[in-house]
Amino acid sequence: MAEVRHQYASVRGHRVFYREAGAPDAPTLVLLHGFPSSSRMFRQLIPALADRFHVIAPDHLGFGNSDVPPVDEFTYSFDSLTDITEALLAQLGIARYAVYVQDYGAPIGWRLALRTPDAITAVITQSGNAYEDGFVPDFWAPVWAYGENPGPLTEPAARTALSLDAIRWQYLHGVARPELVDPDTWAADHREVNRPGQDLVQLTLFRDYRSNRPLYPELHAYFRESRVPLLAVWGEGDEIFGPDGARAFARDLPDAEIHVIPGGGHFLLESHLDTVAGYIRGFLTTATATATSAAAKPLGS
């Protein structure tokens, strides 16, 4: 089993936790987690990849073991979470990397790619949405309503996402074999997002999620122009970001590798770890070899 190192860094005055494994001189893969989890969601994937890749998985500020500054001391937005991630990677000396995005990790990963396109060697998206096609209307309607008109009429529906039942549902919906999903996952997430002051952090990010949609046209142009290698691995039963969101990547990246996994849900790694890890290993082996070859070519060749 690969050695996984549990580390902290001081980033812009905040303590940021990250998991790290693999040789630092191997191709780097940055794993960006979603709501309501943390880098803990990658606890089994990291050792499955660390024999071949240098893996970094931070906890976003406000999640997991990273600092949770109060909302009056830190501006919680996807732009600011990207700032922290970008600064962490710079501090660690990571200039080129593949990125794995899931849920909230996607708008952070997309911003990183748009800011520094040449840094991204490949993209793995697992329920990391980039198209209107991916939004399941029944799930997103209360989020859009709260973002557009926050107040006592819309906030209660948004707050339900912080309940134990809602977090359990995120892990189990669409999963053909729910007995494979460790109940510690939703129990830990529920405990963490209900720490004092956490409700205000999460509500702020719910309101800010609408800021991601206007980025999509620029993101699609980045896909078309960069032709970045992309792997989409999606649970067929995901009722948050539906599988049409996975298929949509082919519009802008015709060579994208897309797999919709029967019996899988939103947190696909919990029930289909080996399947996802197998796709990633094959995809990244080819993508990183291509990126290394391209980087080694002389200018003008």
Could you list the active site residues?
A: 266
Instruction: Name the nearest CA neighbour of 6 among 91, 65, 94.
Output: 65
Helix 184-193 vs helix 164-172: crossing angle, to nearest 10 = 140
Instruction: Name the nearest CA neighbour of 227 among 113, 132, 146.
Output: 113
Q: Regarding beta strands 54-58 and 14-21, do their DSSP bridges make them parallel or antiparallel, or are they unpaired?
A: antiparallel
For the chain, how far is it from start to end, CA to CA, in angstroms? 42
Please name the amino acid found at residue 247.
R
Instruction: Name the nearest CA neighbour of 170 among 266, 234, 245.
Output: 266
Output the six-digit token pair for 161. Answer: 């996402």
Angle at 182 between CA 178 and CA 183, to 5 degrees: 90
